[in-house]
Structure 1
Amino acid sequence: MGRVLVVDDASLVRLYYRDILQRAGFVVDEALNGIEALEMLLRNPYDLLIVDVNMPKMDGLSFLAALRGREAPLRAIPALVASTEAGSVDRAAARAAGANFYLVKPLAEDVLIAHVKVLSGRPL
């Protein structure tokens, strides 16, 4: 069973991801912003991060940059960025910050599960 940390300030988005991923057999924790996510990462191991871009206190790209600057194993955790920003500049910025993959919201259930499984090393 994989463990996923969802980092998004929107409660409905977190609930949507949690419902889908728990039914797929994942353990899901939630953080409201990058600061909270960094604190949770120091206490718990995760197989994957799902990160929004636009959040208060610490946005998703700042969070990823801070995470990738830390020591292993934290900096090696795969990160899927899920955002409403759809431009190629947004994708490039996410990759530069340390995202492993970028998807545009809203995410269909099958797309979310497939990407989470692949990025967390689970069989499809």
Structure 2
Amino acid sequence: MKQILVIDDAPTVRLYCRDLLERAGYGVDEACNGLEALEKALQQQFDLYLVDINMPRLDGYGFLNELRGQQISLAPAIVVSTEDSEHHKRQAYLAGANLFLLKPTRPEQLLEPIRLLLGEAQP
């Protein structure tokens, strides 16, 4: 089972993502900020990261920069944010994101790119 780490400081967003991803057959873990996410990523291998930008302690850019600098398997990362500017998109890609999505996301807007990044066939 593919493992996804959902990183967002909003409990409602984490719950939405967990429910959606678990119903789609994925294992899900959560982190409420980039620092907690980095600690989890260094202890366990994940197949994909869903990352918010604006979080306390360590934001999404900081998390991706730190993650991409580690000697661990580089799983794809999708930034899901309310920040809708070219500057934020550029920063996300420079930090190591594979895709940038705007919140709120509908289920298919989230699941289709996840399946693609994980190399899974479309149902």
Q: After TM superposition, is the score higher than 0.5?
A: yes
Q: Map Cα deviations across residues 68-105 of structure 1 (whole Å, 9 max, x no partner).
A: 111131xx111000000011111000000110100000
Tell me the amino acid that sits aligned with residue 116 of structure 1. Answer: I
1:78 maps onto 2:56 in alignment: no
Aligned residues, how many? 122
Partner of 1:43: 43
Residue 62 of structure 2 aligns with an amino acid whose one-letter code is S
What secondary structure, in the 3-state scheme, does the structure 1 residue paired with 2:65 have? helix
Partner of 2:92: 94
* Inter-partner Cα distance in structure 1 for 2:72 and 2:29: 21
Q: Secondary structure at the match of 1:80?
A: strand
Q: TM-score, structure 1 length as denominator? A: 0.95
TM-score for the superposition, normalised by structure 2:
0.96
Specify every segment of 5 or more residues in structure 1 that has no aligned partner in the other structure, as ranges: none
1:49 Cα deviation from its structure 2 partner: 0.1
Partners in 2 of 1:45 and 1:69 — Cα distance? 15
Distance between the aligned counterparts of 2:121 and 2:58, measured in 1? 33
- Structure-2 residue corresponding to 1:119: 117
2:6 aligned counterpart, secondary structure: strand
Which residues of structure 2 form unaligned runs of 5+?
none
Question: Match for 2:109: what amino acid?
Answer: V
